[in-house]
Amino acid sequence: MTYNIALLKGDGIGPEIVDSATRVLEAVGKKYGHVFNFTPYLIGGSAIDATGMPLPEETVKGCLASDSVLLGAVGGPKWDTLPGNQRPEKALLGIRAAMELFTNLRPAKLYPALKGECPLREDIVENGFDIMIVRELTGGIYFGERGMRQGQYGEEAYDTECYSRMEIERIAKVAYETARKRRGNLISIDKANVLESSRLWRKIVHEMEKDYPDVVCKDMLVDNAAMQLVRNPAQFDVIVTSNMFGDILSDEASQITGSIGMLPSASLGNTSRGLYEPIHGSAPDIAGKNIANPIATILSGAMMLLYSFDLKAESDAIVNAVDKVLAAGYRTADLAHGGEYLTTTEITDKIIENI
Ligand code: NAD
C-alpha cells in the first residue's frame, strides 16, 4: 500500500524528531512492503518567518489532501512577543479545527526499563502502568458560551460546560473501541454528583454499554481520579473524559511517567486521517544539538500506523523496537542523568536496527 503523509516539522527540535520518525516509518515500510510518501508543509514560527502566518492556507490544504499528518512541535522565544492570535501555537488550534478532530488519545505508559524516572514510590509502580486517555477535544467548557457582565458585586466572567448527545456518543464510541483493542477496561470520568452535563455524559456512556459486552465500563468522579492516578495508576486501562478534565488528567498522567520525551499523542475525527504529535513542545533550549529524544515522535508514527492505517503488526514493530532499545540500556540525554547517552540520530539508528 502507498500512504501520503503530510509532515509539519515546525520549530525548535521539530525538524530533528520528525526526521527520526520518518526514517523509522521508512524502515517499517521497507520491511512490510508499504510506501510512505512524505510531503513537508510549513507551520508555526518557521511559517511566520516564511509567509507571515503561523498556518498558511497551503498547509491546511496539504493536510486535508493527505492520508494522515505527523507534527513535530511549534513555538520558540523568537516569536514569544507576537500578539496571541499571531503566535505559532495558534496554528495548533487552527489545524485541529480544520481537520475536525474531536478525539485526543494520550497514552501514558511507564516502561519497566524507565521505572527510575517515575516520581512515584517504587512499590506503587512495581508492575509499571499503561494508560490510554481518550479526551473529548472540541466541546465542553473550552468551547461553550462565555462572557463578561456587571453583577451585584462588580464585574463577573462566566464559561459554560455543555455537551450534546452527539458529542458524547461519538467520543464514547472511540473509547469503547479503544478499550476493546486493549485490556477491555473503561473508566468514564465525570463530576456527576454536581454537574448536569456530567449526568448526561454518564447516562449516555452506560446506554452504549450493551453494544460492547467485551468491555467493562465503570464511572469515577474526577476528584477521585486525580488521587487514584498517583495512588494506583496500574488500575487504569482506558479513561474517557471531557475536554477540561482530560486536559488536566492527561498532564498528570504524563508527569507520573517521568519522561516527557517519550509520550506520543493522536488527534482523530470522523475519517481515518489523524494528527499525530509528541506531547512535548519545541524544546528551544536543546534545538539543533542532535540530543533531543525522538521516541515520542517515533511512537506518534506508530500510533498513526495503528489508528489511521490499521497496520497493527507494523505499529507493534515500532513499539517493540523502542522497548528493546530501552531494555538494552540505551538512553537519550534527557534520560541519562549525566551518564552516557546516544544522540537523536544514534538512538533512531538503534530503533531501526530492531525493526
Ligand atoms: P517543552 O516541552 O518544549 O520543554 C520543556 C523541557 O523539556 C525543556 O527542558 C526541554 O529541553 C525538555 N524536552 C522537551 N521535549 C524533549 C525531548 N523530546 N527530548 C529531550 N528533552 C525534551 O516546553 P516549554 O519549554 O514550555 O515550551 C517551549 C516552546 O514549545 C514554547 O514556545 C511553547 O509554546 C511550545 N510548545 C509547543 C507545543 C506543541 O507544539 N504542541 C506544546 C507545548 C509547548
Is the minimum distance from the CB of 260 to ligand 1 under 6 angstroms? yes
Is the minimum distance from the CB of 45 to ligand 1 under 6 angstroms? no
| Distance (Å) from CA 285 to ligand 1 centroid | 9
Q: Does the pLDDT of residue 259 top 90, yes or no?
A: no
> Distance between CA 282 and CA 295 in Å, rounded?
14
Same fold yes or no, 1-99+273-355 and 106-261: yes
pLDDT level of residue 223 (50, 70, 90 thresholds): very high
Q: Whose CA is nearest to atom 42 of ligand 1?
A: 281
Question: What's the CATH number for 1-99+273-355?
Answer: 3.40.718.10
In the prediction, which pLDDT does 28 show? Answer: 98
Is the minimum distance from the CB of 67 to ligand 1 under 6 angstroms? no
Give me the percent of the chain exceeding a pLDDT of 70: 100
What does DSSP say about strands 264-268 and 103-110: parallel, antiparallel, or unpaired?
Answer: antiparallel
The model's pLDDT over 288-335, given as tens digits with 9 standing for 90+, comes to 999 999 999 999 999 999 999 999 999 999 999 999 999 999 999 999
**Domain residue extents for the chain:** 1-99+273-355, 106-261
Identify the CA nearest to 278 among candidates 112, 128, 107, 131.
107
φ, ψ (nearest 5 deg) of residue 305: -60, -40
In the prediction, which pLDDT does 341 show? Answer: 97
- The catalytic residues are 142, 191, 223, 247, 251
In the prediction, which pLDDT does 92 show? Answer: 93
> Distance between CA 216 and CA 213 in Å, rounded?
7
The model's pLDDT over 59-79, given as tens digits with 9 standing for 90+, comes to 999 999 999 999 999 999 999
| Distance (Å) from CA 283 to ligand 1 centroid | 4
pLDDT level of residue 119 (50, 70, 90 thresholds): very high
- Distances, alpha carbon 82 to alpha carbons 53, 270, 325, in Å: 11, 34, 41
35, HSE (Cβ side, Cα atoms, 13 Å): 5
In the prediction, which pLDDT does 258 show? Answer: 86
Q: Does the pLDDT of residue 84 top 90, yes or no?
A: no
What would the grid cell of residue 250 be?
Answer: 492527561
**CATH domain 106-261 topology:** Isopropylmalate Dehydrogenase (3.40.718)
Helices 90-98 and 57-65, axial angle in degrees (round to 10):
40
The model's pLDDT over 143-177, given as tens digits with 9 standing for 90+, comes to 899 999 999 999 999 999 999 999 999 999 999 99
Identify the CA nearest to 303 among candidates 109, 113, 73, 137.
109
Is the minimum distance from the CB of 29 to ligand 1 under 6 angstroms? no
Give me the percent of the chain exceeding a pLDDT of 90: 92
What would the grid cell of residue 171 be?
Answer: 467520543
In the prediction, which pLDDT does 213 show? Answer: 98
Pocket test residue of 18, 92, 280 for ligand 1, highest count of atoms within 8 A of CB: 280
- DSSP E strands: which ranges in 160-263? 185-190, 216-221, 238-241
